[in-house]
């Protein structure tokens, strides 16, 4: 089926009960003089563009085990993918999915929107955005005002994709006035950051943030330190920084992998920057003072940190070096949490709980309270059910996509911490139903879960497990105030 977009005609492929259009450019390739610059409109093309294959993915550390190994790494990565059942007089809800990967990895091709399109009658969009140094390296202090947006270009890429959706999605049968942005992990952090950006106003009507909020927004001090470390890793002095504009992208990625203090591939090195222009200096305060914001479905998992602890030897015991590289100037708060939990829990459990709270739970609470303060409806969840490692980071995604994964036999009970046992089939179905209801009409209440009240003044949280229930006044750890903490290193 051929569809006309603002840049030209595109032709997709019919697959799994819907049409798929892959690799549609939503912005010009950010190469040459456009490196470290904000995205620009894509050039038009003549004829019909063949969109059967995903486009190249953003430069990142090479992963030999990645899905779609045939996809090339390229700076020319700003493309998106659309799944739809076709044009329609009655326009359908739209989901725009932002992939995770710690701001240094991932791709839109990791998402499969087939079931959303074929079974839920949504129009599903996934996208690539610039990662790591190419998307989140703040260079204004080094290279001048011309590069004022460089610390947030990855976010501007996402906004450009949302603008493309506003202009083009109706041709695919999608309703541009009914757009839900959804993401997990870093994708959730990008989703949350959109709430703080005036440039994103009006581009989405609601959002789902799974295990991520605004906690990865860096202050300018941290952003400058990251830039300094990258230059040092490249063997460059500040006066030589213009070489960043010409070095091979692969060299930048190699440098960023050794530039930071994080042994886990610099997972916590990059993120959006509170520059006072695109993103307010104090994002949470900004949200608290904002007029009514889009409705939000947000939450975290009980054992988020357990996965990182299991796979990263550097995280497997409490020490000051670990907390310094993860939390910088905020590390003392995490020590306090750990010592309190150690009074009632084994050391390893107390360590995991403290990291989970400060990496994820508190940030989600901060955002939920701030968005609710604006008068917007907020629904919050806490996933307590999990696999043999517990309710680890990303486990809610496995539950929501349980039917797809089971059909494709993607889980292996013996060694996969994301395996979903049959006993959780009802929970998985209830979560999928609630998420879809929220996407469709902005309210997650369905008969498959207990009545789900708004977060509101009672701080009501849906505790997700096979026998789910609502808990009120789920508060942060004792002694920790829920206030914005800019990530400092």
Active site residues: 185, 304, 393
Give the relative orientation of helices 347-356 and 331-342 as an angle to the nearest 10 degrees. 140
Instruction: Return the bridge partners of 79, or none.
Output: 25
Exposed, middle or buried: residue 173 (CB in 10 Å: 0-12, 13-18, 19+)? Answer: buried
Among residues 98, 444, 190, the alpha carbon closest in space to that of 296 is found at: 444
Distance between alpha carbon 53 and the CA centroid of its chain, in Å? 23
User: What are the two backbone dihedrals, phi and then psi, of residue 125, each rounded to the nearest 5 degrees?
Assistant: -125, 130
Q: In whole angstroms, give the CA distance from residue 294 to residue 404.
A: 29
Identify the helix (H) or strand (E) that includes residue 81: strand 79-84
Q: In whole angstroms, give the CA distance from residue 483 to residue 371.
A: 13
Q: Are 233 and 256 in contact (CB under 8 A)?
A: yes
Q: In whole angstroms, give the CA distance from residue 485 to residue 55.
A: 37
Among residues 364, 92, 84, 80, the alpha carbon closest in space to that of 208 is found at: 364
Apex CA 181: angle with CA 378 and CA 327, to 5°? Answer: 75
Identify the helix (H) or strand (E) that includes residue 220: helix 220-234
Among residues 10, 294, 275, the alpha carbon closest in space to that of 164 is found at: 10
Instruction: Return the bridge partners of 209, or none.
Output: 183, 298
**Secondary structure E strands in 254-334:** 296-301
Strand, helix or coil for residue 335: helix
Q: Which two three-digit tokens encode residue 444?
A: 């997650």
Q: Which two three-digit tokens encode residue 54?
A: 């995903």
Q: In whole angstroms, give the CA distance from residue 123 to residue 265.
A: 34
């Amino acid at each position: 089926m051929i569809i006309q977009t603002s840049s030209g005609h595109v032709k997709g492929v019919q697959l799994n009960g819907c049409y798929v259009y892959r690799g549609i450019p939503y912005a010009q390739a950010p190469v040459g003089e456009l490196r470290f610059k904000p995205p620009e409109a894509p050039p038009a093309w003549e004829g019909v563009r063949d969109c059967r294959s995903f486009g190249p993915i953003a430069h990142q550390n090479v992963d030999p085990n990645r899905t779609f190994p045939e996809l090339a790494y390229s700076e020319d990565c700003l493309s998106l993918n659309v799944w739809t059942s076709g044009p329609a007089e009655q326009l359908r809800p739209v989901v725009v999915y932002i992939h995770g990967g710690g701001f240094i990895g991932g791709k839109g091709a990791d998402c499969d929107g087939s079931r959303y399109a074929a079974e839920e009658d949504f129009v599903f969009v996934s996208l690539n955005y610039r990662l790591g140094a190419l998307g989140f390296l703040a260079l204004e202090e080094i290279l001048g005002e011309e590069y004022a947006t460089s610390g947030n270009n990855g976010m501007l890429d996402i906004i450009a994709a949302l603008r493309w959706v506003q202009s083009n999605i109706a041709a695919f049968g999608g309703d541009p006035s009914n757009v839900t942005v959804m993401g997990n992990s870093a994708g959730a952090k990008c989703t949350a950051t959109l709430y703080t950006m005036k440039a994103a106003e009006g581009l989405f009507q609601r959002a789902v943030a799974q295990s991520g909020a605004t906690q990865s927004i860096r202050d300018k001090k941290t952003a400058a330190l990251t830039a300094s470390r990258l230059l040092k890793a490249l063997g460059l002095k500040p006066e030589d920084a213009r070489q960043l504009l010409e070095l091979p992208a692969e060299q930048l990625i190699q440098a960023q992998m050794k530039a930071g203090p994080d042994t886990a591939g610099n997972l916590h090195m990059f993120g959006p920057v509170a520059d006072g222009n695109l993103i307010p200096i104090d994002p949470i305060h900004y949200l608290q003072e904002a007029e009514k914001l889009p409705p939000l479905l947000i939450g975290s998992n009980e054992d988020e940190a357990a996965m990182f602890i299991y796979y990263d030897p550097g995280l497997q015991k409490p020490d000051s070096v670990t907390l310094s590289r993860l939390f910088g100037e905020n590390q003392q708060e995490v020590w306090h949490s750990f010592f309190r939990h150690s009074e009632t829990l084994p050391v390893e459990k107390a360590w995991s709980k403290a990291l989970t709270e400060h990496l994820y739970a508190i940030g989600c609470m901060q955002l939920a309270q701030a968005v609710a303060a604006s008068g917007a409806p907020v629904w919050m969840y806490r996933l307590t059910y999990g696999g043999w490692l517990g309710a680890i980071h990303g486990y809610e995604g496995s539950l929501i996509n349980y039917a797809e994964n089971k059909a494709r036999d993607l889980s292996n009970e013996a060694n996969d911490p994301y395996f979903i046992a049959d006993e959780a089939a009802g929970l998985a179905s209830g979560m999928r139903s609630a998420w879809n209801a929220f996407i469709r009409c902005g309210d997650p209440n369905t008969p498959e879960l207990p009545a789900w009240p708004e977060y509101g003044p009672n701080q009501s949280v849906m505790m997700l497990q096979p026998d789910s229930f609502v808990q009120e006044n789920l508060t942060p750890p004792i002694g920790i105030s829920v206030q914005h903490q800019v990530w400092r290193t």
